[in-house]
Amino acid sequence: MRTTVGIVGAGPAGLLLARLLHNAGIDSVVLESRDRPYVEQRQRAGILEQGTVDVLRAAGVGARMDREGLPHDGIELRFDRRRHRVDFPALTGGRRVMVYAQTEVCKDLIAAQLADGGPLLFEAEALAVEGAETDRPRVRFRHGGREDVLDCDYVVGCDGFWGVARKAVPAALSRTYERTYPFGWLGILADVAPSHDELVYARGERGFALLSMRSPSVTRAYLQVPADTDAADWSDDGIWDELDRRLEVDDPHWRLARGPVTSKSVTPMRSYVHEPMRHGRLFLAGDAAHIVPPTGAKGLNLAVGDVVTFARALIARRDTGDATLLDTYSETCLRRVWQAERFSYAMTTMLHRAPDATAFDDKIQLARLDRLTSARAAETDLAEAYTGFPL
């Protein structure tokens, strides 16, 4: 099998890249180790930055998002029993975010790819990326019970942290930067209308809580828990009771709506960056190159930034013969990646209470939140970062 761009992984990054390349008249093949139902059902991110929304619309896959997604003009911060709303459009010149689950983004992209795009092979396990240093890299994969080879001009690894793409970068050339946090998020989905029309980030003595949503009838919520927590140890009533405590404010009119919990799981918290994001004709994108704690809602959006950068670079190479943008892919992406890592780290350390936190640490967190909610410059920095760094 032969193609211009071999894409390993059919998450939102790989699928969006295939769509961008198709629209530009560049052929690709997408290899995905899981089956289609798994890809369309795995719960991940749900907040799309303004730039991601714009890219999906421009790629021709934004119609359902615009019908069913929930535009948000801000978030609410809660601390010290106080409430403060951050108004995104007022601080950013009109930018906002969209609540639209990754599962739905993938469904839209899969439907478009199968309708008129290049090959999208499910249950096609990538075994290795070979020859990245040559002008004919290839991907060995297993599909339908037999091994095959995909010969490419370029390979883009969108196969996540545990995939094979990053392993093809020689260890001697790799640099990794990592921080593991001593807590995780216990997350639930519940069949109940959200208790607030925007996301609520709460910092308290008992730890962090986040009130979010997936639709007008489905609540998504999170609690900070120890990293080794088993979700099964928490009863549904226990989760709602703890959310009530952590979201409590001096407002007699606000109430937390409860409903049947349909799923619960624990998400670990870590920051990770692999440099470089390019080796020869192998390009890393998304979780294959970087991971952020979910506090800043950056994971999916960073992946979108990566594949937009690659698509623009390859189109420029084809149209002008100039490979500068391809050659600088890693540096271009990493500037955005590290800004997202900075923001996600700042949000995480400002809102979560570490197990060994001292009274001094608590006061510093409250001082940071007080500064954020009383100084327009600080609030603007948060709003600009949350709604998205330029693509």
Domain ranges of the chain: 5-74+96-178+270-347, 182-268+354-387
Name the amino acid, one letter, at 215. S
Domain topology for 182-268+354-387: D-Amino Acid Oxidase; Chain A, domain 2 (3.30.9)
- Phi, psi of 99, deg, nearest 5: -85, 110
Say whether the peptide bond before residue 293 is cis (omega within 30 degrees of 0). no
β-pairing verdict for 290-291 and 261-275: antiparallel
Q: Is 222 exposed, middle or buried (0-12, 13-18, 19+ CB in 10 A)?
A: buried
The H-assigned helical ranges of 205-272 are: 236-246
| Residue 177 annotated in active site | no
| Residue 167 annotated in active site | no
Determine the longest span between alpha carbons in the chain, in angstroms. 66
Contacts of 251 (CB under 8 A, 6+ apart): 83
Report d(CA 126, CA 7) in Å as an integer: 10
User: How many C-beta neighbours within 10 Å does residue 345 have?
Assistant: 17
Say what the pLDDT of residue 41 is: 87
Among the listed residues 100, 181, 201, 329, the single catalytic one is 201
Say what the pLDDT of residue 294 is: 93
Among the listed residues 154, 294, 329, 352, the single catalytic one is 294
- Locate 261 and state its tokens: 């919990």
Report d(CA 231, CA 350) in Å as an integer: 24
| Residue 38 annotated in active site | no
Say what the pLDDT of residue 11 is: 94
* Residue among 138, 108, 114 at smallest CA distance from 126: 138
Say what the pLDDT of residue 218 is: 93
Question: Which listed CATH number (3.40.50.880, 3.10.450.50, 3.50.50.60, 3.40.50.2020) goes with 5-74+96-178+270-347?
Answer: 3.50.50.60
| Residue 329 annotated in active site | no
- HSE at residue 215, side-chain half, CA atoms within 13 A, is 12
Among the listed residues 12, 22, 72, 181, the single catalytic one is 72
Among the listed residues 107, 279, 290, 298, the single catalytic one is 298
Below-70 pLDDT ranges, the chain: 43
Among the listed residues 181, 222, 329, 386, the single catalytic one is 386
